[in-house]
Amino acid sequence: MINDFPSDLVVRRPAAGDHARVLAVLDRWWGGLGGEAGSTERALLLPRLFFQHFNTTSYLAERPDGSLGAFLIGFLSQSDPEVAYIHFVGVDPALHGQGIATALYQGFFDQVRSHGRRHVHCVTSPGNTASQAFHRRLGFDILSGEQGTGDTPFQPDYDGPGIGRVVFALDLARRPSRRSR
Amino acid sequence: MINDFPSDLVVRRPAAGDHARVLAVLDRWWGGLGGEAGSTERALLLPRLFFQHFNTTSYLAERPDGSLGAFLIGFLSQSDPEVAYIHFVGVDPALHGQGIATALYQGFFDQVRSHGRRHVHCVTSPGNTASQAFHRRLGFDILSGEQGTGDTPFQPDYDGPGIGRVVFALDLARRPSRRSR
């Protein structure tokens, strides 16, 4: 499903039955970012529908013992035939630094490119500096916004009152495909 | 876009620029259901991505003066070619009883049927008895769950810890199409 996947994780499509397992690890993986409100926000951002209706462009990576190592939830834009969207990605902090998130993103890029998608969009919260650095390293551009407390511009109220987002876009045409590298 | 739409509302596709307007009316239209937590939940359930990537199967209904009267956010399941999903629907309470929600649902049914979709799925919260009655009247079946405090079975923790849902499914093959009535 994804070639050359790092570590001994086994990658497969998520199913509706995986929803509760993924939610259960989010707080630990996010280090409790945002406290109880952050926990509720993460659960509400990841309703079961993503595991039911968009699993054909999503990935779950498990250790040989079946425990969850990483996941990526993404979809093909229904409205814009040139765009694909990465909605939620998580990697067990114990597995950070092994290139797992990069491999999941690359797998998604390869798949959506085969569906004719040229642009990949995603957002992250203004406080998630690790995620921001990751997307910059992958070559994502930041769509303009106000300057935040850090050095990353974000768009205030992007997802609702008080829910600002750093907005990323990647042009796959400017990125070599796996095959041509 | 939708034939025989009741009242003088004008129906069109929503766009990303409508996101903030829709969120702004939700609390009033929902009568403040769930207090501040309910308000946050509704905003998080309706991130901007639905207005960006699924507007081709969604509807916005405006009064002649441009004010918002109703909306429906739905999509074609990417994973299951027989299923379409209605994610969020709202009607200004001042316009209740005119068949507006029914007309939006019927418009969605007609559209997704033309895409070969046979089943329409959606969920509502266990406390939203008006929504439950509406879906029963339209002919939706309730997928089994535990008996709640009312008479409607719901599935506890369906969308996360403490986030129970009444789960609805409609078989369009058992419902006459607009044309044949």
Per-residue pLDDT reduced to its tens digit, B135-147: 999 999 999 877 6
Give residue B1's identity as a one-letter amino acid code: M
Q: pTM for the whole thing?
A: 0.93
Structure tokens at B173: 């093959």
Which is higher by pLDDT, B59 or A26? B59
**Cβ–Cβ of A45/B49 closer than 8 Å?**
no
Domain locations in chain A as residue ranges: 1-117, 121-175
Structure tokens at B49: 């991505």
**Cβ–Cβ of B78/A160 closer than 8 Å?**
no
Confidence of residue B72 (pLDDT cuts 50, 70, 90): very high
Chain segment A48-90, per-residue pLDDT in tens: 999 999 999 999 999 999 999 999 999 999 999 999 999 999 9
**Cβ–Cβ of B79/A52 closer than 8 Å?**
yes
pLDDT surpassing 80 at residue B151: no
Q: Which residues contact A33 (CB under 8 A, 6 or more apart)?
A: A127, A128
Contact A125, A166 (CB under 8 A): yes
Q: What is the mean predicted confidence (pLDDT) over A110-134?
A: 95
* Chain A environment of B41 (Cβ under 8 Å): 40, 44
* Chain A environment of B81 (Cβ under 8 Å): none
**Tokens 């990069």, located at residue:** A102
The minimal CB distance from B23 to the residues A41, A48, A160 is found for A160
pLDDT for A105: 98
pLDDT surpassing 60 at residue B181: no
* Chain A environment of B122 (Cβ under 8 Å): none
pLDDT for B49: 98
Q: Which residues contact A43 (CB under 8 A, 6 or more apart)?
A: A23, A26, B159, B160, B161, B163
Determine contact: A27 vs chain B, CB below 8 A. no
pLDDT surpassing 90 at residue A180: no
ipTM: 0.93
* Chain B environment of A28 (Cβ under 8 Å): none
Chain segment A8-20, per-residue pLDDT in tens: 999 999 999 999 9
Alpha-carbon Rg for chain A in angstroms: 16
- Superfamily in which the A1-117 domain is placed by CATH: Gcn5-related N-acetyltransferase (GNAT) (3.40.630.30)
Q: Which residues contact B158 (CB under 8 A, 6 or more apart)?
A: A48, B123, B145, B164, B165, B167
The minimal CB distance from B43 to the residues A53, A87, A160 is found for A160
The minimal CB distance from A56 to the residues B78, B158, B163 is found for B78
Nearest-angstrom CA–CA distance, A36 and A27: 9
| DSSP string over B91-134 | E-GGGTTSSHHHHHHHHHHHHHHHTT--EEEEEE-TT-HHHHHH
Count CB atoms within 10 A of the CB of residue A83: 19
**Taking CB atoms and an 8 Å cut-off, how many pairs form between chains A and B?**
91
pLDDT for B85: 98
Tell me which of B15-29, B119-133, B166-180 is least confident: B166-180
pLDDT surpassing 80 at residue A2: yes
Confidence of residue B179 (pLDDT cuts 50, 70, 90): low
Q: Which residue of A has its CA nearest to B23?
A: A160
Q: Print the SS3 string covering chain A.
A: CCCCCCCCCEEECCCHHHHHHHHHHHHHHCCCCCHHHHHHHHHHHCCCHHHHHCHHHCEEEECCCCCEEEEEEEEECCCCCCEEEEEEEEECHHHCCCCHHHHHHHHHHHHHHHCCCCEEEEEECCCCHHHHHHHHHHCCEEECCEECCCCCEEECCCCCCCCCEEEEEEEHHHCCCCCCC
Q: Between β-strands B68-76 and B59-62, what pairing exists: parallel, antiparallel or unpaired? A: antiparallel
User: Which candidate in B13, B53, B88, B158 is best for mutational testing of the A interface (most A CBs within 10 A)?
Assistant: B53
The minimal CB distance from A47 to the residues B53, B78, B159 is found for B159
Which is higher by pLDDT, A28 or A13? A13
pLDDT for A150: 67
Chain segment B20-41, per-residue pLDDT in tens: 999 989 988 988 877 877 777 8
The share of chain B scoring above pLDDT 70, in percent, equals: 94
Q: At what angle do helices A129-138 and A100-114 cross, to 10 degrees?
A: 50
